[in-house]
Structure 1
């Protein structure tokens, strides 16, 4: 190991380079986009359990993944029957020439993430972007053609591997400086630097595939990264992975815009059942090669390790077990999905670190930084609780994901486009993924950036007027609303936190509705004990007739409205009729005072759906019947 004095000297040099770069730019001797200008963002390194900048100040990285862009995952695009990017390509190649397919993908990559998306992320207060990418973006056009041929029939995979071996031996892999993968990374680095955001480079689809889930790693054959041997008996995909990181390190080793290298995303199902060791021996050996290869390039970036089991299990991967020459600047990753956020929740295996208690204990035990590279795919309530727990431990995180088709759980919602296998669908997809055509999910932003007690209006609501039931306030469960089931905390339980999955991402169950004269969305499955808050502005004092548009449940229901702590009235629904007819129920409210108030809808007995609440001056309308 290099002594502490040498370590400090290395990062003092980075600081000097930063100052030199700024002087050169100000003097007009260096263009702002020249390589040294990258030093305007301070280089990061590990100092015990912390990530710090060149001045020793701790930096907690909190940001977003831009997944689904440089590697398509089927569920992000709602093409789940196709399951992975290579199967999407396979389907396209059945209906179009390869050149046309490649052109579609070039356009897709040009539209899905642009500077506008990165600017938006920065405005929300995030400070980093994790960039998942596919190794095939670093192949030449001819090399990618060989891989495309392997997509069409399994018998071509061996031929592709033979080609890879030849290219590897002849040093023809990743050598061209203008490969698409490098260009795309450079674009992201420039966009992020303009916003003072760090970038984490994430090899999301490693050569051969790092697991069995082809949707995640786009593998042609499961676990080929670990099992495939070429004609010379080499683990050729591992050799190629090492070669790729050598080239990336050589290119970006002095680029402080890069916070970390995430060497392999989510290795999984590396186990005895799949003919491998039961204790991560293969993963440990490859990490040793990768770490040594990056360091051999003179690159001291933080290297982010991911454990087996989708990034979380670190047996034989702890600092004392890794057989690497230089153990500085290592960090450990966790991917947190569908698990408890409570401080007391713990796993008996100390090397399994997706639970917050284990994560913090691992950091403290080994004195290494830990970071949550992926978390999300849940309700706003879970998001808020996760962020609260991680922030309390000063652990950084990166949310998954920036965009999804027709999803309330992403940062930006992409409109449905049809089928990717039709010309009309592809045209719509290329249009809909553009930032200007996406819809920000403001409730997701609030869940990730606001305190547990935060509450704010979701939309301006006035009395007199109509209040859409789905426009209840922003905020956590117990603050803005109460629902029986508001977060998934057990990966084995597939109960939806939003029975309907429309409009918003809270535990409140929202469905689309075509109810004539009503709102486009309705709150459904209103169970006894649940409630919703609405911030309203009463613009005119007086007595009001209140109407509620409801679809009754199979048993009589009762809804009560309160203004602040004062009950202003209730309605009782009849038992649901066989025709499931909507009802408009009314009551005369006590006089309402002018001002800003909290209106609370309380479910005392179940109601199937509520579309809207309407306040009209009593003098202008009488009580309506059903």
Structure 2
């Protein structure tokens, strides 16, 4: 089917060669999964096929980027020998589906970028929770990697920016797709007609907390394990910088403990001793006051924690070994980028999360789904 694929791409190039809204051409999506045996059989043919497609496109369109994904769900880049076009981008896909969750390294992709002197980007990331969205997008941007969230819209979900309401008869359609009874023509027609209405942007449920997590902006809940990406003495300080955490961020020394997690939900906390600290970067669209809440417990008889934003200091004394949510005085974030520093001044503290919510509202009402996305 290679000739048919090349013919298809030539047709696409003819149509979009002058379209500025199209950034580039992604030649194959997640080709040759290893578990199917396809990678073993056809991997050696992938780059030669990419070269043939690119040559055909360039006969028509010399402007748009060519985007290349590796074998085995886009991430096996051993198929690449080096750039063969002046306007190439190499793409990988990044999902954190391990349990317990792990913020997986992208070092091997960075090494290819350096070797090839060619841009790379994360063409898919998502399908988890706000903890992972915050961590992965900050990780990518700290390494000058662009990213694309997937999916933007999905049916009946809460971990995407937009959720599509299921049509009334959708259960019958879904059951048939899994081997159930075939619905009548009338039921199927009604379900798909309703779907075309429901998927319109104005009819979707919008989850601003998901978007805020991706862009690390207030209002938001900041998970304690998602301290910044600038390294020792900039995003964190610990006394023993030679150790590595056994969970989540495996190449850094802040102690992280993982609790029960699933493919769609992660759950971690950090342990910080006296004089150690972590720092978090968060954006505010305007100079604004926020309610500040911390979820914390003490590992000792008592612990003290300071939260610092610019010249504002909020202190917490924790006298119990059970988790508690402590509401502090409001805090002002400046317009633009802000840094929240969490310093343990006495004892040993476990930190779960910090929350910045609009004054007069709690985070749940401020950030969970809105029935209609306002344009």
For this structure pair, what is the TM-score category when the shorter chain's length is used for normalisation?
A: 0.5 to 0.7
| Contact preservation (8 Å) 1:319, 1:327 | no
Cα contact 1:411–1:440 (8 A) shared by 2: yes
Is this contact kept in 2: 1:562–1:599, CA < 8 A?
no
Match of 1:253 in 2: 17
Superposed CA deviations along residues 25-64 of structure 1, whole A, max 9, x for unmatched, are: xxxxxxxxxxxxxxxxxxxxxxxxxxxxxxxxxxxxxxxx
| Structure-to-structure mapping, 1:118-133, within 5 angstroms | none
Secondary structure at the aligned position of 2:108 is classed as helix
CA distance in 1, matches of 2:198, 2:66: 35
Query: What is the 5 A alignment of 1:267-282?
Result: 267-269=31-33, 273-274=37-38, 276-277=40-41, 280-282=43-45
The aligned runs of 1:138-157 (5 Å cut-off) are none
Encode CA deviations 1:561-586: one digit per residue, 9 max, x unaligned: 64428xxxxxxxxxxxxxxxxxxxxx
Q: Does 1:402 align with 2:166?
A: no
Q: Is the 8 A contact 2:297 2:323 kept in 1?
A: no
TM-score, normalised to structure 2, is 0.54
* Structure 1 length-normalised TM: 0.34
Q: Distance in 2 between matches of 1:250 and 1:496?
A: 45
Give the Cα–Cα distance (whole angstroms) in 1 for the partners of residues 18 and 121 of structure 2. Answer: 22
Kindly report which structure 2 residues correspond to 1:365-384, keeping only aligned pairs within 5 A, or say none.
Answer: 365-384=115-134
| 8 Å CA contact retained: 1:488, 1:496 | no
Q: Indicate the structure whose relative CO is greater, using CA pairs within 8 Å and at least 6 residues apart.
A: 2
Provide closer, same or farther for how the CA distance between residues 315 and 271 of structure 1 changes in structure 2, counting only shifts above 3 A: farther
Structure 2 distance, partners of 1:379, 1:392, is 20
Q: 1:597 to 1:330 in 2, by over 3 A?
A: same
RMSD: 4.1
SS in 1 for 2:157: coil
CA distance change for structure 1 residues 562 and 433 in 2, over 3 Å: closer, same or farther? Answer: same
1:478 and 2:244 matched = no
For the residue of structure 2 that corresponds to 1:240, the secondary structure is helix
Equivalent of residue 433 in structure 1, options 188, 199, 203: 199
Give the 3-state SS of the residue equivalent to 1:315 in structure 2: helix
Secondary structure class of the residue paired with 2:81: coil
> Counterparts of 1:567-578 in structure 2 under 5 Å?
none
Instruction: Report deviation, 1:378.
Output: 1.0
Asked which structure has the greater CA Rg, the reply is 1
**Counterpart pick for 1:284 among 47, 65, 68:** 47
Q: Which runs of 5 or more structure 1 residues have no equivalent in the other structure?
A: 1-236, 321-325, 347-354, 457-473, 481-485, 500-505, 509-525, 530-556, 566-594, 601-626
Greater share of residues in strand? 2
Is the CA contact (8 Å cut-off) linking 2:33 and 2:71 kept in structure 1?
yes
**1:327 matched residue in structure 2:** 85
The equivalent of 2:212 in structure 1 is 446
Structure 2 counterpart of 1:307: 70
Name whichever structure is richer in helix by fraction.
1
1:271 positional shift: 8.0
Q: Does the aligned pair in 1 maintain the 2:127–2:264 contact within 8 Å?
A: no
Structure 2 unmatched ranges of 5 or more: 174-182, 227-246, 251-258, 269-294, 299-320, 330-357, 364-375
Q: Any idea what SS the aligned residue of 1:389 has?
A: helix
Alpha-carbon distance between aligned partners in 1 of 2:11 and 2:127, rounded to the nearest angstrom: 33
CA 1:405/1:300 → structure 2, altered by over 3 Å: closer, same or farther? same
Correspondence list, 1:181-260, <5 A:
237-260=1-24
Task: Select 1:317's aligned residue among 64, 70, 80.
Answer: 80
User: In the TM superposition, what is the alpha-carbon distance from 1:597 to its structure 2 partner?
Assistant: 8.8
Task: Give the 3 Å change call, closer, same or farther, for CA 425–365 of structure 1 in structure 2.
Answer: same
